[in-house]
Structure 1
């Protein structure tokens, strides 16, 4: 439980830093990864973490490959995703989470967080009537901190497990 509390505080620090400076110190990501793995080790073994991380890395690789192909078709030339479209901090944050969440939960969190951030960003753009530089890693860190807080409070639910998904499929 102490690791999870430290993890939540770390995620909130990452959020605050990204919101203020639109950048996060690089060393915060290795510390985040260590905290995530330590917390996950309390529930599953290291082999399960390696398998889940591998699947999540495959998903992210396919995602970025498809994104690269999309921009290749759109601009008729190869573009550097990290220079023009997504920050390294955003990629590092997604890699860190890949070490913690099982693939089903990872996909669910990825889609849900991007949807929430998209709606939030559209609302801000509509109110301010200008384009927006989205602090994706910071906003995802805040959403994940909220998920972990709910995980602390909920009985019989663990964000690191997939039982909710399989019980939903059985219905």
Structure 2
């Protein structure tokens, strides 16, 4: 399982590098991340039913977040969603929804958004945020902490 964990971390590292340097990420990295993460999640939980339930709940959470972003973009900013939020970010959210059980997903998702805001305010001068790249930094640390066994109940 540690090989899958390393592969997930390397995929997240590639997403980080590409998003921070060129502001575009190869599309195949998102399905790769989703497949690796879902496989890892399934093997750690040991139950197809539990894994599918968690994935469904995570996708509902992501859909709710994206609905709020869409409404804010339309009502407050008077812009299309594509002008305020990148497709790569949506694909990243969806991929990560497949990777963790719901309690862990909620906590890591919120903290990765907070970390992304802090990194953007401190390190970038641009108006746009490389959200998938910044969030990947946090998720790399989550998977490396799991690999080291510091927090053994991350997938239960």
After TM superposition, the score normalised by the length of structure 2 is 0.89
Aligned positions of 1:51-130 closer than 5 A: 51-75=53-77, 77=78, 79-81=79-81, 83-125=82-124, 130=125
Counterpart CA distance in 1 for 2:20 and 2:69 is 25
Aligned positions of 1:148-167 closer than 5 A: 148-155=143-150, 157-161=152-156
Q: Which has the higher contact order (CA 8 A, sep 6+)?
A: 2
1:121 touches 1:132 (CA, 8 Å); kept in 2?
A: no
Question: Per-residue deviation at 1:155?
Answer: 4.6
| Structure 2: gaps of 5 or more residues | none
Rg: which structure is higher?
Answer: 1
* Equivalent position of 1:134 in the other structure: 129
The count of residues paired between Structure 1 and Structure 2 equals 154
What secondary structure, in the 3-state scheme, does the structure 2 residue paired with 1:43 have?
helix
After TM superposition, the score normalised by the length of structure 1 is 0.82
2:74 touches 2:80 (CA, 8 Å); kept in 1?
A: no
1:100 touches 1:160 (CA, 8 Å); kept in 2?
A: no
* Equivalent position of 2:19 in the other structure: 18
**CA RMSD for the aligned pairs?**
1.7
